[in-house]
């Protein structure tokens, strides 16, 4: 091969190799970035045992203790000598360590060597409760976030609170994570949005509310926004009906001091409080 052709071929090979390395580094950085944005993603492969998993526990040189059992609703399985052992929420390694510790503490076996295998996986699901349009249990998929689970549940109801609470079993503890949806959407910052895990419980609480009755377009109960005024409350209810009047507007409010409902005359600029009942009268003419 002529020297010039050889040099061109070698240069092309180096460029191609460098390109592949650049893409490989870019892919690695992208995965690291995803791990930063979605907490827990880096540990997605670390499966945690849960209700319905069929588990096999083996104790080395103690075949009589080999156990196959399905994890119960309370997160336990039966094991010789130990009875019910809680393994729900643990990894295989953590479950093996727990059985090892219990066998050693009870002096049933000296220096036990325990291994845990999963014979059959359950279908991973997350529970979405509270102020969503379709509460229920929904499947967990890779890279799926709390926002995706809320979308599966049909989105938030009109009376949903901005704050979402996620309860997650982690080892022996149940941890609580809070996500402010309004801040997340307004800022576009997804760093506080968790990737969902099997067994997560997502709860959307009911927001503060107020009621509008009388001569308005749409009487009913509505979500109370921060520092909401009377005129804003009327706008949410569609405004006054043809017979409605802005004279004599009144709010019925529970007064803690007197432990009774009181009636307060209000103007457009006054603010509403939680569970206020805004009453709009009809015009006499």
Q: What digits encode the pLDDT tens for the residues 52-64?
A: 889 999 999 999 9
**Is residue 71 helix, strand or coil?**
coil
Please provide residue 91's backbone torsions phi and psi, each rounded to the nearest 5 degrees: -80, 170
Q: What is the mean pLDDT of the chain?
A: 83
Q: Are 114 and 102 in contact (CB under 8 A)?
A: no
Nearest by Cα to 109 from 85, 84, 67, 81: 81
pLDDT over threshold 50, residue 111:
yes
Q: Are 263 and 252 in contact (CB under 8 A)?
A: yes
Torsion sign across C-alpha atoms 49, 92, 110, 68: positive
pLDDT band at 11 (very low <50, low <70, confident <90, very high): very low
Contacts of 93 (CB under 8 A, 6+ apart): 116
pLDDT band at 284 (very low <50, low <70, confident <90, very high): confident
Q: Are 57 and 116 in contact (CB under 8 A)?
A: yes
**β-strands 250-255, 220-223 pairing:** unpaired
**Residue 111 Rama label (left phi>0; alpha psi -120 to 50; beta):** left
Say how far apart CA 215 and CA 244 lie, in whole Å.
Answer: 5
pTM of the model: 0.57
Report pLDDT digits (tens) over 197-227: 888 999 999 999 999 999 999 999 999 999 9
Q: Are 201 and 132 in contact (CB under 8 A)?
A: no
pLDDT over threshold 80, residue 23:
no
């Amino acid at each position: 091969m002529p020297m010039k052709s050889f040099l061109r071929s070698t240069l092309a090979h180096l460029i191609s190799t460098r390109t592949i390395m650049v893409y490989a580094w870019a892919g690695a950085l992208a995965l690291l970035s995803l791990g930063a944005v979605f907490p827990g993603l880096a540990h997605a492969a670390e499966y945690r045992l849960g209700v319905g998993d069929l588990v096999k526990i083996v104790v080395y040189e103690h075949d009589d203790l080999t156990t196959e059992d399905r994890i119960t609703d309370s997160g336990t399985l039966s094991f010789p000598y130990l009875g019910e052992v809680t393994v729900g929420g643990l990894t295989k390694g953590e479950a093996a360590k727990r059985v090892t510790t219990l066998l050693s503490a009870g002096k049933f076996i000296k220096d036990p060597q325990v291994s845990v295998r999963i014979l059959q996986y359950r279908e991973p699901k997350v529970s979405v409760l509270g102020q969503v349009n379709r509460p229920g249990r929904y499947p967990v998929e890779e890279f799926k976030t709390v926002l995706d689970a809320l979308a599966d549940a049909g989105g938030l109801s009109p009376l949903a609170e901005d704050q979402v609470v996620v309860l997650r079993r982690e080892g022996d503890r149940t941890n609580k994570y809070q996500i402010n949806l309004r801040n997340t959407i307004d800022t576009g910052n997804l760093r506080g949005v968790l990737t969902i895990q099997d067994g997560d419980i997502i709860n959307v609480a009911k927001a503060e509310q107020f009621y509008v009755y009388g001569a308005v377009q749409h009487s009913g109960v509505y979500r109370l926004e921060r520092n909401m005024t009377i005129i804003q409350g009327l706008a949410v209810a569609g405004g006054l009906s043809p017979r409605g009047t802005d004279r004599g507007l009144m709010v019925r409010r529970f007064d803690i001091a007197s432990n009774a409902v009181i009636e307060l005359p209000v103007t457009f600029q006054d603010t509403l409080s939680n569970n206020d009942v805004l009453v709009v009268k009809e015009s006499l003419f």
